[in-house]
Chains A and B, each alone.
Chain A
Amino acid sequence: MSDQAIVEKLKAKFSTAVLDVVEHRGETTVTVAKEPIVEICTFLRDDCGYNLLTDLCGVDYLGKAPRFMVVYNLYNIATKQRLRIKVPVEEQNAVVDTVSTVWGTANWHERECWDLMGISFNGHPDQRRILMPADWEGHPLRKDYPLQGPGREPYQGRLS
């Protein structure tokens, strides 16, 4: 099944939840609303064959609304196809439902996303910091977190 066919299938099932579909360099990215994310992921796994969650991460678009995106890179081992799902997340309510019930691998990816980006996962079985020390304050991958560490002026970059 082509990417378009899968997007059509997804639209037919979740018509209001599909917010945007972008194709860039031959890769399809579908932006969906965050509320039905667990149902969408379960549907993609069971009915579209995306049995492997290759990667999950957060992206900080500081200055834009909504500020964050949670990105799910999916793979179908049978048809060797990729699909990317994105979920917009507001800064004030940076919470998304966990998909660790859909793919077990999401557990650590979501812990990392919480640790570095400060996006919380509702219903996560074990939401602790994973890379930073347990008593660390702040979330280092956020764009307003200084590159050189807490309490330092933001790095201006060698280009400016």
Chain B
Amino acid sequence: MAVKSETMIINMGPQHPSTHGVLQLILELDGEIVVKATPHIGFLHRGTEKLSEYRTYHQIIPLTDRLDYLAPMSNNLGYVLAVEKLLGITDKIPKRAEQIRVILTELTRLKSHLVWLACHALDIGAMTVFLYCFREREEITDIYEKVSGARMTSNYFRVGGLSEDLPDGLDAEIRKFAESMPGHVETYEGLLTGNKIWQLRTQGVGHISAEAAIDIGITGPALRASGVDWDLRRDNPYSGYEDYDFEVPVREEGDTFARYKCRLDEMRQSSRIILQALDKLKPGPILADCPKVCLPPKKSVVDTIEGLIHHFKIVSEGFSPEPGEIYQGIEAPKGELGYYLVSDGSPMPVRMKVRPPSFVNLQGLPQMVEGKLLADVIAVIGTLDIVLGEIDR
């Protein structure tokens, strides 16, 4: 009797625990081998871009928190930098505001990478790492809470600077945390890097070459692990990143293990940047001197009628950038996060397009898993570090 061979279609997600949210994959399998993988997205589509066209520039900041909800401050930073560029006030941002932005976005990078490592390791079967990572992440969410009042949806940056200064004594706490972080990274590496099971599950898995990665648009640590030495913080600096001394980790292998090593090295570099920024921090203003854009100091709102009118005008009407269009990209934890803004001179954008890194990186998934084992799909979803909030927007 002839052996009959046929492929099987299985549905993975959108309620699958290892798809990191509501990602659905339709997998065509020949035994254990993936013949075809088709991602289906959009289950978390909230219409952020449409909503933005009906809000003033300041009202959009809380919407950006909810894009990549594991790295809210990075989203905020990309957006406020884009609006500042549209207004032409990029060079008026006070040094202190820029430095606090750098400290917090680097903490955000650590926060995002900690969730990535925790879930990636858990998916592959290493439970301990998850608990360790979430212990450190908890400290960052505490810092978030002290800074902005919220543990995840921070809404802390403002066009022109920050909503408030750092609370007293917090810089010492951040310093203590940043100094402890390299030691923690050593612990994670101790649990995973030399672990034979971890190596077998990650080395050579989900390989992508530099050419293929650029063609499909992969950015961030996933691209650097394929040997492309490119980091927007160093190559197109923003928010004063040119003043910091840090290295950009690059590896040549292009597999899951290389991406793991790259991200861990990035965590060490983030701690370095935070400590340098803390050293630079001097007392000073945290909001640009742009009365048409920034809210007046609270004291003048409470004490003077002019201040009250000024506050009222900005809150109720917003500000109107001159007609034009700009694109601002930043190095978010997951890759290049870009905002494309079009203004027609009204207080609301004509178009706000978000370029989410996860959306583009996920597009590379089929070519990384097709022809490979089903179990590798789990490793590849983890290594791509996707967040459905920003994929679906």
A residues sitting closer than 8 Å to B (CB atoms) are: 22, 24-25, 27, 29, 51-55, 57, 59-61, 71, 73, 75, 77, 80, 82, 84, 103-105, 107-109, 116, 129-133, 140-141, 143, 145, 147, 155, 157, 159
Contact at A105–B217, with CB atoms within 8 Å? yes
Q: How far is the CB of B168 from chain A (nearest CB, A)?
A: 37
| A80 to B53 alpha-carbon distance, docked (Å) | 30
Contact at A103–B353, with CB atoms within 8 Å? no
Partner of B54, one of A61, A84, A140, A155: A155
Q: A25-B86, A147-B54 are in contact. Are A57 and B340 (CB under 8 A)?
A: yes
Partner of B217, one of A52, A130, A145: A52
Chain B residues contacting A145 (CB-CB under 8 Å) are: 50
Contact at A59–B45, with CB atoms within 8 Å? no
| A64 to B214 alpha-carbon distance, docked (Å) | 36
Contact at B230–A77, with CB atoms within 8 Å? yes
Binary per-residue interface labels of chain B (272-312) against chain A in the complex, 1 for a CB within 8 Å, 0 otherwise: 00000000000000000000000000000000000000000
| A96 to B350 alpha-carbon distance, docked (Å) | 22
Question: For residue B353, which residue of chain A has the nearest CB?
Answer: A57
Residue B373 lies at the interface, judged by CB distance under 8 Å to chain A: no
| A104 to B214 alpha-carbon distance, docked (Å) | 9
| A141 to B348 alpha-carbon distance, docked (Å) | 15
Contact at B392–A131, with CB atoms within 8 Å? yes
On chain B, the number of residues with a Cβ less than 8 Å from chain A's Cβ atoms is: 44
Chain A residues contacting B216 (CB-CB under 8 Å) are: 104-105
Partner of B324, one of A25, A107, A130, A147: A25
Contact at B215–A140, with CB atoms within 8 Å? no
Q: Which one of B110-118, B131-139, B355-363 is at the interface?
A: B355-363
Q: Which of A22, A25, A51, A141 has the most CB of B within 10 A?
A: A25
Residue B183 lies at the interface, judged by CB distance under 8 Å to chain A: no
Q: Which of B56, B228, B363 has the most CB of A within 10 A?
A: B363
Contact at B326–A24, with CB atoms within 8 Å? yes
Q: 25 interchain pairs (CB within 8 A)?
A: A24-B325, A25-B86, A25-B326, A27-B326, A55-B327, A55-B355, A57-B353, A59-B342, A61-B350, A73-B340, A77-B228, A80-B235, A103-B215, A104-B215, A104-B216, A104-B217, A105-B215, A105-B363, A107-B363, A109-B360, A116-B49, A140-B50, A147-B51, A157-B54, A157-B348
